[in-house]
Amino acid sequence: MKKFLAFLLSLLMAGSMLSPGLPAFAQTTTETSTETQEEDTGSEIQAAGEQDAESESSSGSSDYAEGSEKLDISQGTVPFIDESDPLMENLAVYMVELTTDTLIHSRNANERRYPASLTKIMTAILTLENIPDLDREITFTAELQNYVYEINLSYGGGISTGGIVLNETLTVEQLLYAIMLPSANEAAVMLAYEIGDGSLERFAEMMNEKAAELGCQGTHFVNSNGLFEEDHYTTAYDMYLITKYALQFDLFREIVSTPSYDTGPTNQQENLHWDNTNQMIVEGSGFYHPEITGVKTGTLEESGRCLITTAEKDGYEYLLVLMGAPYMDEAGNYITPNQAFVLTAQFYDWVFDTYKAKTIVEKGDKVSSINNVRLAKDGKDYLQLVSAETFTALIPDEIEPSSITFDLVLPGSVKAPVEQGQLIGEVKLVLAGEVIGRVGLVSAETVEVSRMLLLVDKLVGMTRSYWFKFIVVFLTVLIILYIILMIARNRNRRRYRRRR
């Protein structure tokens, strides 16, 4: 009998050790929501806090918010554009407040448009990334001059240039000013030829590779200057991605905010003077807008008036991509004044008048609480939660911060110990059904653990473990078997005695 029981025990132990996983009754799943609360352990909360800190540190190198929910707060319309005007049908717009990543207005943003000289923003990006020595000199050779001459002829003359002459040598930095201020096409060719190792086709490939890297899905470049070709196109949204990337370069920001530039003496001329075609940063131009800080114009009959600008006000930075503004009327007459400048001014005036930066939550504000604190010393069962940071949003002026709803994401309970400032959950800030931001919720105080309750909790936890249940079941089976065997043994003894 003893040998039989020992054999049974060894079989059960071996089977449990070879088991590939827990049985079904030991597996658990959890779900979090703002409506249904769940139990959560202190260690799990701590792990969430560490993960959140890691994500913050990984994104902290960027000056701009990343991954925020996109809400077109204009709802697709603006008061100063006549939707019935046929001249506005080709207008494409993408306007964002960069520091909060708030989408202000989107119009035809994913439709193909010809970028004209906005193309040169990508040429500037590749120059800054591929030629670290900005003092490197590049010469306008006869080969390049003939190429530009042929291009000019093919377009009927009059393409924009910087006045660079045969065999003139300029630095890379000077050529960057040339492509971004007077939109010099020969300068763009010089840079493309240098970076493409003598191949303008290779440079175009590099442009497309970079566009794809930045997430552009509606863009295809054929040349470095933006002169019209059927297969040279982009979208307002893609130009937003490209320009936002370019703004990471301090020199780019400096160049595009410069009203005029002088090269000083070159090997061929006493000086080259270039005025910025973006008259919105030029005082006295009639289009000057003091908040605007850059970036680039672009104009072709096929593309209409194009303009990308940045502007700053009240600590916020805006990026506006405007493509396809009216250039000629239905009779083929040129429209004056420049509609890209007019519309851009209207967009910024509208935003500055209509939208205000409002603080929704201050750091340390009491937001919520948890009424189920377990294992706390002195029987404490309440934990106050406060905002981990200040959150400010750009919202319509008529909307009060109190109209923004709080969507709480919290555990059903918290186990002590809890440290002051420990991340417990988060609150989603919702406006018109859209999440406009998220703020972490942290403990307002330290909660010490009761050693006695902690010991009891561990013992209770042991009783819920798979091995405890296995041992209980095994012992129960063992006792039942023992009883059955004892009954059988007693019956055999009685029969034996009766026979005697």
So what's the pLDDT on residue 82?
86
The proportion of the chain whose per-residue pLDDT surpasses 70, expressed as a percent, equals: 80
- Residue 5 scores a pLDDT above 70: no
For residues 98 and 240, what is the distance between their CA atoms, to the nearest angstrom?
11
- Reported as type and span, the H/E element at residue 468 is helix 466-499
- Residue 202 scores a pLDDT above 70: yes
pLDDT tens for 429-485 read 998 787 888 999 999 988 877 666 545 556 555 666 666 677 778 788 888 888 888
So what's the pLDDT on residue 2?
44
For residues 427 and 421, what is the distance between their CA atoms, to the nearest angstrom?
15
So what's the pLDDT on residue 20?
37
pLDDT tens for 82-91 read 888 888 989 9
| Whether 348 contacts 292, CB under 8 Å | yes
Q: What is the mean pLDDT of the chain?
A: 83
So what's the pLDDT on residue 262?
98
- Residue 9 scores a pLDDT above 60: no
- Residue 34 scores a pLDDT above 60: no
So what's the pLDDT on residue 458?
61
pLDDT tens for 378-420 read 777 888 999 999 988 888 888 888 889 999 999 988 887 888 9
SS3 content of the chain, % helix, strand, coil (to 5): 40, 25, 40
So what's the pLDDT on residue 459?
55
- Residue 221 scores a pLDDT above 90: yes
So what's the pLDDT on residue 378?
75
Strand positions, DSSP E, 457-498: none
pLDDT tens for 283-325 read 999 999 999 999 999 999 999 999 999 999 988 999 999 999 9
Task: pLDDT band for 42, please (50, 70, 90 cuts).
Answer: very low
| Whether 447 contacts 373, CB under 8 Å | yes
Relative to beta strand 414-415, strand 373-374 is parallel
For residues 344 and 287, what is the distance between their CA atoms, to the nearest angstrom?
10
So what's the pLDDT on residue 428?
94
So what's the pLDDT on residue 332?
87
Relative to beta strand 355-361, strand 391-396 is antiparallel
| Whether 239 contacts 308, CB under 8 Å | yes
Whether this model's pTM surpasses 0.85:
no
- Residue 18 scores a pLDDT above 70: no
- Residue 7 scores a pLDDT above 70: no
Q: Radius of gyration (Cα) for the chain, nearest Å?
A: 35
So what's the pLDDT on residue 71?
53
So what's the pLDDT on residue 392?
84
Instruction: Compute the average pLDDT of residues 250-276.
Output: 98
So what's the pLDDT on residue 1?
46
Strand, helix or coil for residue 80: coil
Which of 17-21, 359-363, 385-389 bottoms out in mean pLDDT, i.e. has the lowest? Answer: 17-21
Concatenate the DSSP letters of all residues of 157-215 into one string: S--------TT-EEEHHHHHHHHHSS--HHHHHHHHHHHTTT-HHHHHHHHHHHHHHTT
Burial group, residue 427, by CB count within 10 angstroms (0-12, 13-18, 19+):
buried
Write phi, then psi, for 479 (nearest 5 degrees). -65, -45
- In the block, residue with structure tokens 């002195």: 378
Concatenate the DSSP letters of all residues of 32-56 into one string: --SSS-----HHHHHHHHHHHHHHH
135 compared with 378, residue with greater pLDDT: 135
- Residue 115 scores a pLDDT above 50: yes
